[in-house]
Amino acid sequence: DLQTELHDRDFEQVVLCRDPEVGLESVIAVHDTTLGPSLGGVRMRHYPSRAAARADALNLAQAMTYKSALAGVPLGGGKSVINADPRVANRDEVLIAHAKYIAALNGRYIPALDMGTSVRDLELIGRHVPVVAAQRGDPSYYTARGVVRSIEVALEACDGRTISGSRVAIQGLGNVGLHVAAMLTGQGAEVLGADIDPARVQRAVDEFGITGVDLADVLSAEVDVLAPCAGGGVVDDQTLPRLRTTALVGAANNVLSAASLARDLRERGIVHVPDFVANAGGLIAVEAELRDDARGLEERVDAIADTAREVLNRSTTAGTDVVSVALSMAKEIVEANRKYRPYF
Ligand code: NAD
């Protein structure tokens, strides 16, 4: 049952919300507030089932705890999902009803942008809650910067290769993917890219000189690095045997459809930096914006490289896959701070 699941996964609090008058059904998941108030996006999506909506909220909230811990950010892990079509006619009413439930948590959950919500939505929510990460600045440059730093570390681990002269395939040329393409071509890499939107590919070809490839071919391209920057779950039992890359490092959350696939990657000798290590740059930027203090921001994002290097080194020393290693490092950080717990 749910209570057992919350116990087994160390969840502090999960709020199931309903407002039948406006048609709201939502979930607010607060995984852990040891390091600070939980921060996470408000995702708006029509899920195939209530169980799917709840599972998404729990998985994403838990990942936020570990992402924050490893990024050295004083925040806990949370997430909320509104189970509704983002095009619903009374969208604002639904968002406000959700915001009122967030407000009742008294700052233990800080809402931020996610799939299906916009800056304008966050501003609307912000009128009803104590703290909101309105994200007027675009964090995707910082996410991309951390991904590129992680790519450098992964290449270094592949016989000391460098970005200059390497071949990188990017799946998804959206906010993050385009920045990654710009930085990599700027550093002398040969970049291949694919996107379901042909205009995004054309833009990357024209502006950064990348080579466009077919959607069906990008995952199996013969490259030094494969960088998934579209959706999650792209590496699964079917696609993993087709990978022809030396390293896997991208921005997409939950790139592996199951954490156990990290072992298979290791067995195939593919160097992998877990997504929740590589893509933390945006979170670091959002937290800086919350405090209104951008001092040292780029250096703090660049320090993702140190964490990525430590994960790869510990994995080699211990003979364990990188995801297990990164999770245990994150849990160590949380546990070491457990007795302070300022946010309870
Ligand atoms: P985005 O929506 O701007 O870009 C995603 C791009 O992928 C779009 O151009 C879309 O057309 C394309 N796409 C979708 N499905 C595809 C497919 N099957 N094949 C090829 N292309 C496809 O999103 P974003 O902000 O660039 O984020 C990219 C990923 O990184 C997401 O998974 C997101 O959760 C994750 N992420 C983003 C940030 C950030 O700062 N924006 C931070 C952490 C993680």
Q: For residue 230, report the distance from its CA to the centre of ligand 1, in Å.
A: 4
CATH fourth-level superfamily of 140-331: NAD(P)-binding Rossmann-like Domain (3.40.50.720)
Backbone angles phi, psi at 80, to 5 degrees: -135, 145
Q: What is the pLDDT of residue 136?
A: 74
Nearest CA to ligand 1 atom 1: 174
Helix (H, G, I), strand (E, B) or coil at 124: helix
Residue 145 CB neighbours (<10 A)? 23
* Token pair in block for residue 151: 């790519």
CATH for the 2-64+76-126 domain, from 3.40.50.880, 1.20.120.1770, 3.30.930.10, 3.40.50.10860: 3.40.50.10860
Identical fold at 2-64+76-126 and 140-331?
Answer: yes
Distances in Å between the Cα of 174 and the Cα atoms of 30, 68, 72, 144 are 29, 23, 27, 11
Quick: pLDDT tens for 270-312: 999 999 999 999 999 999 999 999 999 999 999 999 999 999 9
Mean pLDDT, residues 300-326 taken together: 98
The residue behind tokens 């970049």 is 191
Q: What is the pLDDT of residue 344?
A: 53
Mean pLDDT, residues 216-224 taken together: 97
- Highest average pLDDT, of 26-35, 110-119, 334-343, comes from 26-35
131, 144, 335, 61 alpha-carbon torsion, rounded to 10°:
50
Pocket residue to mutate for ligand 1, from 170, 195, 255, most atoms within 8 A of Cβ: 195
Distances in Å between the Cα of 8 and the Cα atoms of 71, 93, 153, 207 are 24, 35, 34, 49
Q: What is the pLDDT of residue 115?
A: 87
Distances in Å between the Cα of 340 and the Cα atoms of 38, 70, 110, 251 are 15, 18, 20, 32
Quick: pLDDT tens for 55-68: 999 999 999 999 99
**Model confidence at 343: pLDDT above 80:** no
Say how far apart CA 263 and CA 322 lie, in whole Å: 8
Mean pLDDT, residues 219-242 taken together: 96
Q: What is the pLDDT of residue 232?
A: 87
Q: For residue 152, report the distance from its CA to the centre of ligand 1, in Å.
A: 21
Q: For residue 232, report the distance from its CA to the centre of ligand 1, in Å.
A: 9
Mean pLDDT, residues 236-261 taken together: 96
Quick: pLDDT tens for 9-33: 999 999 999 999 999 999 999 999 9
Q: Among 92-96, 201-205, 230-234, which stretch is predicted with the lowest mean pLDDT?
A: 230-234
Helices (H) and strands (E) in the chain, counts: 13, 11
Say how far apart CA 239 and CA 168 lie, in whole Å: 18
**Model confidence at 334: pLDDT above 80:** yes
Is residue 79 flagged as an active site residue? Answer: yes
Q: What is the pLDDT of residue 134?
A: 74
Mean pLDDT, all residues of the chain: 95
Quick: pLDDT tens for 120-179: 999 999 999 999 997 677 899 999 999 999 999 999 999 899 999 999 999 999 999 999
Q: Among 131-135, 196-200, 210-214, 302-306, which stretch is predicted with the lowest mean pLDDT?
A: 131-135
List the domain boundaries for the chain: 2-64+76-126, 140-331
Instruction: Give percent above pLDDT 70 in the chain.
Output: 98
Q: Name every protein residue with a CB atom under 6 angstroms from any ligand 1 atom.
A: 139-140, 143, 171-177, 194-197, 200, 215, 229-232, 251-253, 279, 282
Q: What is the pLDDT of residue 300?
A: 97
